[in-house]
Amino acid sequence: MAERERARRLSRRLELLITAIVVVILMVVGIGLAWALAQPDTAGSFAAQQYGFPTPGQSSTIAAFLLVVVFLAQTAPMIAGLLSLRMAFREIARHETIGAGAARWLRRSGIAFFVNALVMLLSRPLVSLILSIDMPSGQRFLSIGFGTPELLTLLVSGVLVMFGHLMTVAARIEDENKRFI
């Protein structure tokens, strides 16, 4: 029982940590959104710098709006994954360490992080197209890339889905064992 109590304590701490991370991300997104709306002409150069693209001479308002949409589309599944992971830790802390509820939340977080990885893969070409939309023809570009962050996100999402599945199997076995006793 001491191991389960330790797992519950750790789950409570991880739930608080994830809550803090989500709050910080939402604050940064809010500040970035306000900045992008206040100065849409600089959003293009900021995005170009983040991705290592050539800086456009001038960005249109529509390009800035599209960049904001792409960055929000990247943020949404990440926040959903973190909140699902937070709920999994909450289930572990409040109920059984091996339970169907926590397993369901783990799988949901894995799926959300998988969607996040896909959006990350699509965002690079989209941002390159958006940044070059205002450039004269012949200077427009398309960038496609796959790096360590995308690979790591795909790996973590797969691990979370698998652990969720394993936890579901373990919960069934534990329920069967309780019925025998």
Most confidently modeled of 4-8, 78-82, 136-140? 78-82
Confidence of residue 181 (pLDDT cuts 50, 70, 90): low
So what's the pLDDT on residue 19?
97
Looking at residue 8, its pLDDT comes to 87
Cα–Cα distance between 63 and 10 in angstroms, integer? 44
Spell out a b/e string for 48-78, using b for 16 or more CB atoms within 10 Å of the CB, else e: beeeebeebeebeeebbebbbebbeebbebb
pLDDT digits (tens, 9 = 90+) for 84-128: 999 999 998 888 777 888 888 989 999 999 999 999 889 888 988
The two structure tokens encoding residue 133: 């939309």
Q: Does residue 1 carry a pLDDT above 80?
A: no
Domain hosting 82: range is: 2-180
44: which 2 tokens? 């293009």
Interval 10-64: pLDDT, tens: 999 999 999 999 999 999 999 988 988 888 777 777 887 787 777 776 777 888 8
Structural domain count of the chain: 1
